[in-house]
Chains A and B, each alone.
Chain A
Amino acid sequence: MIKISNMSKYYGDYPAVLDVSFSIEKGETVGLLGPNGAGKSTTMKVMTGYTPPTNGKVSVGGYDIVDKSLEARKQIGYLPENVPLYLDMTVKEYLNFMASIRGMKSGISKRTDEVIDITGLETYRDTIIGKLSKGYRQRTGIAQSIIHKPKILIMDEPTIGIDPVQVVETRKLIQSLGGEHTLILSSHILPEVTTICKRVLVIHDGKIVADDTPNNLSKRLQSTQVCEVSIKENNGVNFIKLLRNESYVVDVRSKFDNNSEYKNYIIEMSSNHGVEENIARLIVENGIGLHKLNSLPLTLEEIFLQLTSE
């Protein structure tokens, strides 16, 4: 559906996206994940034909985004990051207008009613958009992106800036759209991507640093092990010194807890072959006083941090 090869986009001398290649098949739900300024929005702006790539080829639905721009744009439903709306129109007028400029010729008002139902905007059908709350504006934005039944749906940070209850509802809505469209969404929020998407592209500094399923991403990083150790408080300094001497220890962080005579440490290690055993032995042999030791599963948040911190 979408094929991007060696695409770069420069703003002046600054490369927002650098030599990126990937392809997305029909029916996939793909999340672009990365911190702010990583190049997610730029990648989307290029895919939607808003701005052409500086180098490389981008084809959407089989049409080159530069040479056959109009054809390519017909395949796409797009929700830009700031959810652009005409504030003086009613929801219905806006959706009718968007349907016509997206190339729908007939059945517009029937489809508008349908989309209003899907996005739960029934009560606000004839409300001026300027008077809607942020969450309902977001829904209106989503509604315009699906109004013309596009093959490809591209959403830039679709849940940013709305309240938590509406975030959950909006996510559900987006999830339900994934079935019929090829869906690409960008986010800097991990749970969002993992609940909605079956594939994650991690972008950092304009480059793709990982491209996998959420499950595989955590598997790939399991060679790194994290465990939590709880010891008697007064032995803390000694303990950290000992750990620093071990080659497999990557990082030690203390977890402060006021009300306890024990002190907790999060230890990150570079291999998972019996390292807990080693740690336990180290503690016991040095008489530090082991209280608790358990290994922690890596959260995606940590994977993300690892992937993107060089």
Chain B
Amino acid sequence: MINIYTIFKKELLSYIKSPMAYIVAASFFTVTGFFFIASVSDAFSEASIRGFLAGAVFFLIFLSPALTMRLIAEEQKLGTMELLMTSPLKEHEIVVGKFLASFSIVLFMLAGTLFYPIILFIFGVPDLGPIFTGYLGLILYSCSTLSIGIFASSLSSNQLVSLVVGSGILTLLTFINFVSERVPGILGTILNELQLGGSFSVFDTSSFGIAEKGHFADFARGIISVYDIIFYLSISIIFLLSTILILETRRWK
């Protein structure tokens, strides 16, 4: 436990010192702000954060791997992985500590967006339920995108490769309905269930909403679905475990 905290603290300090976290946060605020404003600025538009959610779900595909790409790749490149691996640390302590550091940066970012709902409350009468479930969904969703990012970071010692592979996996999982709709039978169903955030009526400027499909849809509608919670947690655990496995196998090479 103390080891996880040590790694967590080191990574958090490293985020604070490096420009990457600030760049990621700034572009997150800009892009989600754009989506939010576009979705509520029409006359008679709905007082909801669905526009913001759509933008956040979409943009985290790129921002999560940008935050996590350094985490393991950099240790490999600097050779400091050798220090970590010869210290009395377990692989899972390294991975979990790093994950928690990136997760807390995302939590800071999400906290910073709370002024969107505050604006809604000042100028309108929004529904509190969907706002709450929307944020809950975003927290769970970012858990899985960050885990996939860390997994990508463990594959190479090149950060750029990690970024591309990470966003690649996330993009595939987001647009998987393009494929699953055309695959018949059980396989199609399985592929369909893998759809991560899923919603690209983001690009439908008339509605700016989360699509009906994908695991984020219910959260955006104000529904807390245990099924979707379990889905996001499972994806996170699977990718974190794979990362741990990669570190362990690398030892045996």
Interface window among A92-100, A238-246, A267-275, A300-308: A92-100
Q: Are B252 and A51 in contact (CB-based, < 8 A)?
A: yes
Q: Are B88 and A74 in contact (CB-based, < 8 A)?
A: yes
Docked complex Cα distance between A101 and B83 (Å): 9
Q: Are B10 and A97 in contact (CB-based, < 8 A)?
A: yes
Q: Are A87 and B78 in contact (CB-based, < 8 A)?
A: yes
Interface window among B11-19, B30-38, B59-67, B207-215: B11-19
Q: Determine the interface band of chain B, counting residues with CB < 8 A from chain A.
A: 20 to 34
Q: Is B45 an interface residue (CB 8 A)?
A: no
* Docked complex: B62-99 residues within 8 A CB-CB of A: 78-90
Docked complex Cα distance between A97 and B7 (Å): 8
**Interface SS, B side:** helix
A 85-107 to B, binary, CB cutoff 8 A, 1 in contact else 0: 11111000100011011110100
Docked complex Cα distance between A84 and B13 (Å): 19
**Interface SS, A side:** loop
Q: Are A50 and B85 in contact (CB-based, < 8 A)?
A: yes
Looking at the complex, which one of A84, A88, A97 makes contact with B82 (CB distance below 8 Å)? A84
Residues of B within 8 A of A76 (CB): 86
Q: Are A101 and B87 in contact (CB-based, < 8 A)?
A: yes
Q: Is B182 an interface residue (CB 8 A)?
A: no
* Docked complex: A136-189 residues within 8 A CB-CB of B: 144
Q: Are A78 and B252 in contact (CB-based, < 8 A)?
A: no
Looking at the complex, which one of A11, A49, A74, A84 makes contact with B80 (CB distance below 8 Å)? A84
For B80, give the chain A residue with the smallest CB separation.
Answer: A84
Docked complex Cα distance between A48 and B83 (Å): 10
Q: Determine the interface band of chain A, counting residues with CB < 8 A from chain B.
A: 20 to 34
Q: Are B251 and A52 in contact (CB-based, < 8 A)?
A: yes
Q: Is A214 an interface residue (CB 8 A)?
A: no
For A81, give the chain B residue with the smallest CB separation.
Answer: B79
For B14, give the chain A residue with the smallest CB separation.
Answer: A88
Docked complex Cα distance between A11 and B250 (Å): 12
Docked complex Cα distance between A300 and B9 (Å): 49
Looking at the complex, which one of A11, A82, A89, A101 makes contact with B79 (CB distance below 8 Å)? A82
Q: Is A284 an interface residue (CB 8 A)?
A: no
**Other than the known A74-B88, A86-B10, what 14 A-B pairs have Cβ atoms closer than 8 Å?**
A48-B86, A50-B251, A51-B252, A52-B252, A71-B88, A80-B82, A84-B79, A85-B78, A86-B80, A97-B6, A101-B6, A101-B83, A102-B88, A103-B88
Residues of A within 8 A of B (CB): 11, 45, 48-52, 70-71, 73-74, 76, 78, 80, 82-89, 93, 97-98, 100-103, 105, 144
Q: Could you jot down 27 A-B contacts, CB within 8 Å?
A: A49-B85, A50-B82, A50-B86, A51-B251, A51-B253, A52-B252, A71-B88, A73-B86, A78-B83, A80-B82, A82-B79, A84-B78, A84-B81, A84-B82, A85-B78, A86-B10, A86-B14, A86-B80, A87-B78, A88-B18, A98-B87, A100-B3, A101-B3, A101-B83, A101-B84, A103-B87, A105-B2
Cβ-closest 5 pairs across A and B: A84-B79, A84-B80, A48-B86, A100-B6, A101-B87
